[in-house]
Chain A
Amino acid sequence: MTALINVPETAAQGEIIEIKVLLQHPMETGFRTGPDGKLVPRNIIHSLRCLYLGEEVFAAELFPAVTANPFFAFTLVADVTGEVEFLWVDEDGEEHRESRLLSVA
């Protein structure tokens, strides 16, 4: 699964930085009918969490109303140099993980 994650490389201490996440996923709602007339099974990302310094700073709970290839933008307060982790759970309950290093001057 591909994810486009945008975290600034550097930030000043106390600065509020914006983070953008774009996940590649069909977000199949489970309400659509396929060519065979049967409902296409639901296949969505259920949650996205963002951890900074091991602490949750932001999380989103997704429902079928979120578009295909979900996009999120949110903020966090830069404190010290550390990893920003992104964890998202798909329909099978499998957790995917990506991380970016944030350098705080």
Chain B
Amino acid sequence: MTLTRRQAIAMGLALPIALQTRPATATPEAMQAAIDAFTGGAEMIEGGVELKIPALVENGNSVPLSVRATSPMTTEDYVEEIAVFNEINPLPDTVRFRFSPRSGRAEAQTRIRLNGSQHVTAIVRHSNGDFHSTQVNVIVTAPACREA
């Protein structure tokens, strides 16, 4: 494809507009707001949940994530939900898992996208209303969401 002079000028003019309309990224504050919406502002206990993400990620487009919460998983005491939040993707919400006593273990794996180095937080909601949390720091060398 050859570019005419006219098209080249139009592209040059459009570039600043394109940069301005890039969607705002989530911030640590946005992540905190999303977490507060999930917990309803309830107090959180650090620990009782293990979030596994490689500390150094080369490709932000596919990051393996594994999360496991400590729970007996009986009908009286089980993990209802685990929510994962990030700081700098366009949206703070990443993925959420719902469990039942029939799950056996409060454990799940998936793959996520990370738009740069950041903290990833997992919040666990137990059936008795307790919240547990953990946070990991991930370094991403080639972020997602940046390609055309």
- Interface of A toward B, CB cutoff 8 Å: 16, 29, 31-33, 35, 37, 52, 55-68, 70-77, 79
Q: Flag whether B89 is at the interface (Cβ < 8 A).
A: yes
Closest to B95 in A: A66
A81 CB to nearest chain B CB (Å): 15
Q: Flag whether B111 is at the interface (Cβ < 8 A).
A: yes
Known contacts A31-B145, A66-B110, A67-B111; A76 and B103 CB within 8 A of each other: yes
How many residues of B are in contact with the other chain, CB < 8 A? 33
Choose among B14, B62, B97 the residue that contacts A67 (Cβ–Cβ < 8 A): B62
**Cβ contacts under 8 Å, A57 to chain B:** 99-100, 102-103
B122 CB to nearest chain A CB (Å): 13
**Cβ contacts under 8 Å, A60 to chain B:** 95-98, 108, 110
Contact in complex: A16, B105 (CB < 8 Å): yes
User: What are the 3 tightest A-B residue pairs by CB atom distance, in nearest-first order?
Assistant: A16-B104, A61-B96, A59-B98
